[in-house]
Every structure is written in C-alpha cells, then in structure tokens.
A and B are shown apart, each in its own frame.
Chain A
Amino acid sequence: MSLIEITEVRKSFGANEVLKGISLDVDPGEVVAIIGKSGSGKSTLLRCINGLENIDSGTISVAGAQLQPDELHLKALRLKVGMIFQQFNLFPHLTAGGNVMLSQMVVKKASKPEAEAMARKMLERVGLAHKFDAYPDELSGGQQQRVAIARALAMQPISLLCDEITSALDPELVSEVLAVVRELAAEGMTLMMVTHEMKFARDVCSRVVFMHHGRVHEIGPPAEVFSNPKTPELKQFLGML
C-alpha cells in the first residue's frame, strides 16, 4: 500500500490554476524528486501535502491520515509528515537545542528531559551535537538547515517533505546538507523533495517527477527520465541545465 496518496488534486490562486489534477502515489521508503521550472507548481504540491495550502478538490492522505482543513486533522497529518524549508525557518529566539525540543514538549507533551535527550540524539545524527547551545544566527546556513532537519526528525515523522532545501545555501555548504538527506534515504525514510540538484536526484532518488504547467508531465526512475526524456518539454528543461 502507498504511504502518500495524492488523487486528482487541484489548486488555484485566484484565476491562476497552479495544480491541474495531480495524482501521485509514493510507497514507503521511496525517495521522490520533483523537478520542473519555477511556476510549474512543484512547491505548491509539496505545501499542499501537509496542509500549508488548502486544496480546492481532490484528496491527499499520508499513512491513513486524511488532509482536512480543521486543526485536529491537520495536526494528525503533520505528525506523520515533517517539512523542511528553503529558508530554514528556525526559531531565532531559541538555541539549536531549544528549536528541536520545543515542538516535542508543546505538541507531544514530552517532558523536558525526554525532549532534551531526543534533541541531543537528533542533533548528533545531523553532526551538530556540539552546537546544542548555539543560536541560529551563530550557525552557518548549512548548519541551520541541518538543525531544521533535526527539528523535523525529533517529531518522528514517517516521511519528510523537502522544499528546495539547498537553494538558499552557498555552494560549498550544499554537500553537508545533502549528505544528511542521503543518509536518511539510506535508512529508509520516505522523502519527497523539490530540488534543483539533478546529480543528487539521479544518485539518490528512486523516482523522478517532472512537473510542467501544473501537471505531472513525466515520471519514472532517474536513469530513464534523465537519459531518455520522452517529451520535448523535459528535453528542453534538461537542456537548460
């Protein structure tokens, strides 16, 4: 059975239809890269999956949790999918440790020692155990993004959505973040990532989705999509890179 089920999802911003009926199923442990031009709807699709955007029609479910607009359903869904953002979005008034602890204590009602133990474990997993007491503005972009990953992991989601997580990073910091994602993939985490890192997508992903004008235009294993694009749009897109 699929872990993430997206069926006939439509979404408009005003008169502009951004998603024109997207259907996509993701199996447990799959790593799916979503590629496409800006404005093709790839980020919107990701944001719809955990309810940051409301969908106009269609259904989305993650491990049985349906996307519904009320707070209770959203919370249940969001405990199953973590999200990592292009701009990190760490809480600037809390330390790295505090960032990872907060939602465990507030949402899952974990005790402080429990949350702290989990936070230390997760920060160690992303290689930042020594930065527990550092504030976000004392960290590099790559380190901030890794804290954001630790923060999402501490909620023990069964899948992660990554929205262009390396696009705001200096080139030399990209690899440290991708290394963490690669490890997660190897451990069997289900990942959906919007990315411009084609080499990474080719090496790590099990499937690549090419979105064009709000539709899934082409989909397949990376070897096929990258080496043997079928549609002129994908050929053109890959040629641009």
Chain B
Amino acid sequence: MIEFSLWDILRNLLLATRWTVLLSLVAFIGGALAGILLLFMRIGKRRALRLFAKCYVELFQGTPLLMQLFLAFFGLGLLGIDVPAWLAAAVALILWTAAFLAEIWRGCVEAIAKGQWEASSSLGMGYLQQMRYVILPQALRIAIPPTVGFSVQVVKGTALTSIIGFVELSKAGTMVTNATFQPFTVYGLVALIYFALCWPLSKSSQILERKLNVAHRNH
C-alpha cells in the first residue's frame, strides 16, 4: 500500500481549493450583477417586473440550493442539453446568490428614511436622480456589512457542488479519503481550509459593521 504523507494530502486539497475560490468569485460577482438587475426590478415602478423579481427571490429562497443544483445539472440534461458540472454549478450558484443579494439590498434601500425621498422630490429631482445621488449612496453604506457577511454563505454553498461532480475542495476531500483511508485527517483539513477562507470574511464584516455604525455616523 502506498503511504501518503500529510503534505501529500494537504497539497491535493489546496490544489482543489483553487476551484472553490474561483467558483465562489464567479458566483459572487455574477450574482451581484444579476442581483443589481433584480433589485431595480423589485423596487422599480413597473408592476410586472416587481412581481417577477418578487417571485424569483421567493422561489430561490424557498428551495434548497441542492435542489437548484440538481435541476440545473439533471434538468437541463433531460432537455437534451449536455451541461458540464462546472457550468451547472456556476449557473445555479449565480442565480441563488442573486436572489439573496437582491433581497439584502432591497432591505438597505428601504431602510433609507422616507424623508430623504420627500426632500429630494421637493427639490425637483426625478426618480433616477434621487436614486443616484441620494438613496443609493446611503444604502450602499449600510449594505456593505451584510453583503460581505453573505459572501461567507456563498463560499460554503460551493461545497454542495461536489454532489454533482464538480471537483472543488469537498469533492477533493472525498477523493483523497478514498485513496488514503484517513477520513478524520482529510476532512479535518478540509474544514480548516474552509475556515481559513470564511473567517477573514466574517471578521471583516463585523469590523465594517462596527466602523459604519459608530454613533450612526454616516460619513
């Protein structure tokens, strides 16, 4: 039997971590862009678009990410479209992230006092001007901590893509365990790597929250 050193195990896991990081970035950036679009639909004036965005968000928040991954992977396969695991994983995570970010940001926009809308209206500003110069600059500030906090969920969410066969950190952990028969060591390391990715994110979210909230200072 071949002997595996700790370094062998760790090296293989770290190589797979690249894919976890990449998938997280793709999901977060893609999700943010789609989320902005959804946000504007959700808070805009067109009823049909508002309804669409509302249903979209509720659908994706109300079903497990795992089911969304299955549907993206197997569902499209049933339609005769051959979807590689990485594509299904990226698409499902982007759509899922977009739903949550749109909802987080909607809360931030709606947290801006009604008086800000009224004051800017009474000065003659139109909807887009109000958004651009008065509402969004304030909403952005309060959106930063929860957005960074949610990125932690995205990183951990990528672990589920191992089930449809995308080789990222969790999948690599399973494969290395099958080769080495050292599940405790391997999964322990996997968990540590996830922690090393997520902890700085949640810590920075806390720091930002404190920094932006000090005595309600808005600048």
Contact = CB atoms under 8 A, between A and B. Distances in A.
A108 B219 CA distance: 26
Q: Which of B129, B217, B219 has the most CB of A within 10 A?
A: B219
Contacts of B113: 87, 89
A103 B121 contact: no
B134 to A, nearest CB: 6
Nearest to A82: B122
B129 A107 contact: yes
Contacts of A152: 122-123
B16 to A, nearest CB: 43
A151 B216 CA distance: 23
A52 B119 CA distance: 10
A interface, size bucket: 20 to 34
B126 interface: yes
B4 to A, nearest CB: 56
A68 to B, nearest CB: 15
B134 A91 contact: yes
Contact of B118 (A89, A93, A107, A108): A89
B138 A92 contact: yes
A79 B218 CA distance: 28
A71 B127 contact: yes
B138 A93 contact: yes
Contact of A155 (B123, B126, B134, B216): B123
Nearest to A155: B123
Interface residues of B, number: 23
A103 B217 CA distance: 23
A74 B126 CA distance: 9
- Counting from the closest, the 10 A-B pairs by CB-CB distance are A89-B119, A103-B123, A89-B115, A92-B218, A83-B122, A107-B124, A78-B124, A75-B124, A106-B129, A93-B137
A231 B138 CA distance: 49
A85 interface: yes
A137 interface: yes
A190 interface: no
10 contacts: A78-B122, A82-B122, A87-B115, A91-B138, A93-B218, A107-B124, A137-B218, A152-B123, A155-B123, A155-B124
A74 B122 CA distance: 9
A85 B120 CA distance: 12
A78 B129 CA distance: 15
Interface in B192-219: 216-219
Contacts, number: 72
A165 interface: no
A78 B219 contact: no
A78 B118 CA distance: 11
A146 to B, nearest CB: 15
Interface in B112-159: 113, 115-116, 118-127, 129, 133-134, 137-138, 141
Given A83-B118, A106-B125, A106-B129, 19 more contacts: A50-B122, A51-B121, A52-B118, A78-B122, A78-B123, A85-B118, A87-B115, A92-B138, A92-B219, A93-B138, A93-B141, A102-B123, A102-B134, A103-B120, A103-B123, A103-B124, A107-B129, A155-B123, A155-B124
Q: Which of B115, B116, B119 has the most CB of A within 10 A?
A: B119
Nearest to B215: A137
A71 B138 CA distance: 24
Given A92-B218, A107-B129, A79 B115 contact: no
Interface in B35-84: none
A200 interface: no
Q: Which of B119, B122, B126, B138 has the most CB of A within 10 A?
A: B122
Contacts of A226: none
Contacts of A107: 123-125, 129
Interface in A23-51: 50-51
Contacts of B129: 106-107
